[in-house]
A and B are shown apart, each in its own frame.
Chain A
Amino acid sequence: MPLPPDQLRDILADKFPGATIQIDDLAGDNDHYRAHITASQFAGLSRVQMHQMVNRALADTPAASIHALSLVTKSG
């Protein structure tokens, strides 16, 4: 289900308070994004674990079932 970029940002900002979030709209179809997230909540996690954390955060937001979400995550 497509989701406008600013809504995706709000959902991520809500789940990762204080994080730096940048959304790249890859295809302009509200369905293909790359989210750059730098969050303190990622401290000590491997890349897979960081992405799983984001997936979990989005999983319980039905509106966020995006077809393709590419992630660039950093702890910080």
Chain B
Amino acid sequence: MTDTRSEIQNLISSNDILIYMRGTPAAPRCGFSATVVEIMKRLNVPYHAVNADERQDHWAELAEMNEWPTMPQIYIKGEFMGGCDILKEMFLSGELQQVLADKGIAAA
């Protein structure tokens, strides 16, 4: 396994919620990333964010691993959930809140 991939796998396994995004939660650099940050704020759940703009190596590896060229990309308990569209759809339908409860991720 390349060290980039093992770095990524390490981040995936050591964080309940891992979000690769453009920019940072305090300063998202694209509307889709900002939407995901807003969803997380409303859910009030802890997460680890990685600025993909500053980790192009991770971005390229994730694009291939997940067949997903764009950011943001979200992992919950090691499972790749997709990007902003899917997370928003799940949040609006309440499915995301259910998934978090099922996986024992409580609001902070």
Contact = CB atoms under 8 A, between A and B. Distances in A.
Contact of B82 (A48, A59, A65, A67): A48
A7 interface: no
Interface string A23-50: 0000000000000000000000001100
Nearest to B30: A68
A9 interface: no
B70 interface: yes
Interface in B1-60: 30-32
Contacts, number: 33
Nearest to B85: A70
Interface residues of B, number: 16
Nearest to A32: B31
Interface residues on A, range: 10 to 19
A71 to B, nearest CB: 6
A55 interface: yes
Interface of B is mostly: mixed
A39 to B, nearest CB: 16
A52 B66 contact: yes
Nearest to A69: B70
A51 B69 contact: no
A68 B85 contact: no
Nearest to A47: B86
A59 B84 contact: no
Given A52-B68, A71-B85, 15 more contacts: A47-B82, A47-B86, A48-B81, A48-B82, A51-B83, A52-B66, A55-B67, A56-B67, A59-B69, A67-B70, A68-B30, A68-B31, A68-B70, A70-B32, A72-B85
